[in-house]
Amino acid sequence: MSQWWSTVSIICRITQLSGVVGSTTTEPFDTDKMALEFVNQFPQQAFTVGQELVFSFMEKKVLTVAVRELEGCIGRRVGLATL
């Protein structure tokens, strides 16, 4: 029995959306929590280099995300044969 798997790495530029009330902050972001929230908000999204989107983080922070680089691979695991 075989299984398909994939892994993707996305490098983005993230900035605060200007002109939105409450969007400016000087506090640092927890990037691990940010990455998890990004995956949760866009679970089935296909991305392309240059794509821009709006991302809400920590209920009040409205950010713009620009995809800079994509890297990925798709493979297939093959099960061991039994005699």
Supply the pLDDT for residue 79: 65
Q: Which residue reads 């297939």 in tokens?
A: 76
Q: Which of 28, 13, 22, 4 is nearest to 61 (CA)?
A: 22
| Domains of the chain from N-terminus onward | 2-78 (3.10.330.10)
The pLDDT tens digits for 3-39 are 776 777 888 888 877 665 555 667 778 889 988 998 8
Per DSSP, the three-state class of 37 is: helix
Q: Name the pLDDT band for 51 (thresholds 50, 70, 90).
A: very high
Q: Residue 26: phi, psi to the nearest 5? A: -110, -5
